[in-house]
């Protein structure tokens, strides 16, 4: 099987984000697939950290402390916006299957792999004609959306554990043209 090379980006249009989420919900494991996506776009976690969550990490919690796999740093997740989705998911029998929040459909003792979730995302991306979707799309969509809402780059850098503003801006897809366009109208004397 030939692996296609894609330039993974954030989903920047609300309509596309809604369509993608709707398609995720339709699959055989739609509730699981959508919750993974929702956690990604609400927290900015990497897929490896999302799939590493255990039921005990989120059960009856509005915050969860984790250690990020890539950085080894502690991170506190705000789960308030996700509470109802998590409760519904766990109430539909997903809490007794294994310790993993997102277990493999073939073996409930194993967690879902990032490659399995990538394939789920790719199928939907292909159906919607999107050529920039990968598992990192969730993290980038979080970053882009957070920046668009708050324009708080230092906080976003901390959340994403980036070392420079340039890295964060490049990561979330704020192109040089957009930066220049914003400066065209900027004046501290207005």
In a domain, 60, yes or no: yes
In a domain, 172, yes or no: no
Count of beta carbons in the 10 Å neighbourhood of residue 143 = 24
Q: Does residue 187 have a pLDDT over 90?
A: no
> What does the alpha-carbon distance between residue 143 and residue 171 come to, in Å, rounded to a whole number?
8
Report CA Rg, the chain: 18
Q: How many domains does the chain have?
A: 1
Closest CA to 53 of 90, 80, 88, 8: 90
12 contacts 144 by C-beta, under 8 angstroms = yes
Quickly state the pLDDT bin for 85 (edges 50, 70, 90). very high
CA atoms in the 13 A half-sphere facing the CB of 85: 17
In a domain, 165, yes or no: no
In a domain, 174, yes or no: no
Instruction: Give the pLDDT score at 94.
Output: 73
Q: Which residues are catalytic?
A: 46, 70, 136, 139, 162, 171
In a domain, 4, yes or no: no
Q: Is the dihedral of CA 108, 32, 125, 152 positive or negative?
A: negative
Please give the residue range of the domain that contains residue 51. 14-117
In a domain, 69, yes or no: yes
**pTM across the whole model:** 0.90
In a domain, 22, yes or no: yes
Rounded to the nearest 10°, the torsion over CA 87, 93, 99, 103 is -100
CATH of the domain at 71: 1.10.443.10
């Amino acid at each position: 099987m030939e692996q296609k090379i894609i330039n993974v980006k954030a989903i920047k249009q609300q309509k596309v984000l809604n369509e993608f989420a709707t398609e995720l919900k339709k699959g055989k494991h739609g509730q699981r697939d959508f919750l993974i996506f929702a956690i990604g776009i609400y927290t900015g976690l990497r897929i490896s950290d999302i799939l590493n969550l255990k039921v005990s990490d989120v059960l009856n919690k509005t915050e969860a402390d984790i250690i990020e796999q890539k950085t080894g740093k502690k991170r506190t997740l705000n789960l308030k916006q996700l509470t109802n989705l998590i409760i519904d998911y766990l109430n539909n029998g997903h809490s007794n299957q294994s310790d993993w929040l997102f277990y493999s459909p073939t073996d409930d003792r194993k967690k879902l792999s990032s490659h399995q979730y990538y394939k789920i995302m790719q199928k939907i991306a292909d159906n919607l004609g999107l050529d920039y979707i990968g598992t990192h799309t969730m993290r980038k969509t979080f970053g882009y959306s957070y920046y668009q809402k708050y324009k708080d780059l230092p906080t976003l850098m901390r959340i994403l554990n980036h070392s420079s503003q340039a890295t964060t801006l490049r990561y979330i897809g704020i192109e040089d043209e957009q930066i220049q366009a914003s400066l065209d109208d900027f004046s501290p004397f207005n």
